[in-house]
Structure 1
């Protein structure tokens, strides 16, 4: 799954529990309106339901439900991206300009955490989230 899609799905669900949830909702509906206008109003209704579900999950201290909702919206956004790959830039702008700014710093950091997969053939690779001090390779005997 595309990392931006994953981040946007997480940010959307988290934003639904903030005072700026309407801004998040309007941004997602506007994206759908540009790409699939026939579904925009339906998506708006689904986002209203999402907000209710997120607030209930938070009141019940139920992170599993919130995580499931994130997964569901990640799939919605991924499907949108698969149908129209040109949406990737718009989705990134939505994430950066409307969803992420509504979140507290801890949630924003969680949303922007990146999953990396690395494949190395015939060499050495170092992947780190912070400082790295690699040991030089041992001499070949």
Structure 2
């Protein structure tokens, strides 16, 4: 799974519970319109509205598993978009960093930013992976 899809879906669903949801919705639909047919974009708009309602309802009734299910659905949708149109990855990252993350409180933004990265170094090779602050661990 593309880490952009996970971070984007997490931030998107978190933004659904904010007062600025309409701005997030518009930014997401703008990316979708760049490569999809208008009829499909209308379907995505309706699906975003339904997801927004589910997230708000889950927040009111205390059902975090519903929110996680919505994240899973949108992670799949974003992954599918990236598979069909990998050139949209930069556009999605831009919407993520300039629109979605600034809408969120620190805890939700940090959650969306946290991406688990794994790597393996063999023999005497060395590599660095950086996603935020860099820390060196030798072992």
Shorter chain as denominator, the TM-score bin is 0.7 to 0.9
- Name stretches of at least 5 consecutive residues in structure 2 with no aligned partner: none
Distance 1:104 1:115 in 2: 21
Query: TM-score, with normalisation over the residues of structure 1?
Result: 0.87
Distance 2:53 2:13 in 1: 11
1:1-141 aligned within 5 A: 1-38=1-38, 39-123=40-124, 134=138
The ranges of structure 1 where at least 4 consecutive aligned residues each deviate by more than 4 angstroms after the TM superposition are 124-135
Query: TM-score, with normalisation over the residues of structure 2?
Result: 0.88
Q: Root-mean-square deviation (CA), in Å?
A: 2.1
Query: Any conservation in 2 of the 1:3–1:114 contact (CA below 8 Å)?
Result: yes
Count of aligned pairs: 135
- Name stretches of at least 5 consecutive residues in structure 1 with no aligned partner: 136-141
Distance 1:76 1:132 in 2: 35
Residue 116 of structure 2: SS of its match in structure 1? coil
